[in-house]
Structure 1
Amino acid sequence: MTGKPILDCAARTRIAEAVSRAEAATSGEIVVLVAARAGSYRSAPLAFALVCGLLVPWPLILLTPWSAVSIALGQAVVVLAALAASLHPRLRMVLVPRAIRRARAHEAARREFCSRGLARTPERTGVLIFLACAEGHAEIVADSGIAARVPSAAWNASIGTLLGALRRGEMEAGLIAAVADVGAILAAELPERGGGPDLLPNRVIVVD
């Protein structure tokens, strides 16, 4: 992603401080990861251009006196225009069905959970707060030590708060609120036992 960063340094620092505050009351480990998008969706522009290419000749055949060569040229122009237009990230995202976007974001959350070491804490107490901005998808992934005590539905309010803030353009505030909510749930089920090491980084992970 180019241009303005997803979160500037000051915002990342404030979110990391919120993680530190939340973890002070629990033996759980919270990691925040923000991704610009969960996938590249490279097939979407090709599919869009293919559909346009298949549909365009018919009205030209029925409604114009154009020759076959002219229709073929018009078809080629439309296909190229569709490809060029669909290369824009926002339009490309519109072309991808919502179910596919959600599935891709869900897969990305699970993949990041494993690749960032959250599944390797001694008591399996890692929690990932995952946000895919382009998809508008948030997910909280908890390791088995927490999932055994906290039902997945317990995270729904935190996810709703985060997504509402994202739609309002208040990502930082939403992430801080989600961290506080998750920390409160963890503190109730897994209170801090004193003196344990901070096993996972509190800094916000941003994937452009």
Structure 2
Amino acid sequence: MTLLSEAELQRVADAITEVERHTDAELVTVLATRADDYAYIPLLWASLVALMLPGAANFFGGWLSAAQLLLVQWLTFALLALLGRIPSLTSRLIPRAVRHWRAANLARRQFLEHNLHHTEAGTGMLIFVSEAERYVEIIVDRGISSRIDDGAWQALVDVFTAEVRRGRTLEGFLGCIRGCGELLQQHVPATHERNELPNRLIVLP
């Protein structure tokens, strides 16, 4: 995961503060290492391969005895289960749709946990990133979605996702916050001063 220094975290907080001076929106930013530990995925793959071994052994001549085949199955399962615990390997075993589904679920939980659905006038906004999944999402409450079409955020999400892939998560956050600020200032301008939620970047382990 990208390790951000205190100075870099402060840059994110300052960017949020600057945006909130010009809009009624309440921005919260969340950076997650990963959306799930996917502990079950290596076990699934290890089980499937081990179960396929008897068929493969019979196809290639059935030269193993039943006891030997059982031992090979167990050893195969144990070895693959251990290898699957290596994060870089685990991520390759998980279908993209599953990774994005888990990340999207975490994003929605964060939106609720930080009470973004209870802000004044419904102007809560979450910028969420899960690095392991290379997943970025912007979620807004009704006070913003009623004024800005959800599709307007997609270009910002695409640019941010590319930055995360390049290992430039900080730059992605700063650029995304600025881009969101431009849209928010135009469609949800500030009507009075307020700061209901913390401006700091929330980092999940």
Pairwise CA RMSD of aligned residues? 1.4
* Match status 1:156 vs 2:154: yes
- CA displacement at 1:40 relative to structure 2: 2.2
Counterparts of 1:111-130 in structure 2, within 5 Å, are 111-130=109-128
SS at match of 1:41: coil
> How much identity, in percent, do the aligned residues show?
32
Q: Is the 8 A contact 1:29 1:200 kept in 2?
A: yes
- The answer for unaligned runs of 5 or more in structure 2 is none
Q: Is the 8 A contact 2:135 2:161 kept in 1?
A: yes
Distance 2:128 2:47 in 1: 34
- CA displacement at 1:102 relative to structure 2: 1.1
Task: State the partner residue of 1:205.
Answer: 202
Distance 1:12 1:23 in 2: 17
Distance 2:53 2:63 in 1: 15
Q: Is the 8 A contact 1:6 1:36 kept in 2?
A: no
Match of 1:45 among 39, 42, 46: 42
Counterparts of 1:99-118 in structure 2, within 5 Å, are 99-118=97-116
* Match status 1:59 vs 2:56: yes
User: What amino acid is the match of 2:80?
Assistant: A
Task: State the partner residue of 2:30.
Answer: 33
- CA displacement at 1:107 relative to structure 2: 1.2
Task: State the partner residue of 2:174.
Answer: 176
Of residues 152-161 and 57-66 in structure 1, the stretch that sits farther from structure 2 once superposed is 57-66
User: What amino acid is the match of 2:44?
Assistant: A
Task: State the partner residue of 2:134.
Answer: 136
* Match status 1:85 vs 2:83: yes
Q: Deviations over 1:11-30 (max 9, x none)?
A: 21111111111111111111
- The answer for unaligned runs of 5 or more in structure 1 is none
Runs (4+) off by over 4 Å: none
* Match status 1:16 vs 2:13: yes
Q: TM-score if structure 2 supplies the norm length? A: 0.94
Q: Deviations over 1:127-159 (max 9, x none)?
A: 100001111110000011001111110001110
* Equivalences, count: 204
Match of 1:192 among 181, 184, 190: 190
- CA displacement at 1:42 relative to structure 2: 2.4
Q: Is the 8 A contact 1:35 1:207 kept in 2?
A: yes
Q: TM-score if structure 1 supplies the norm length? A: 0.93
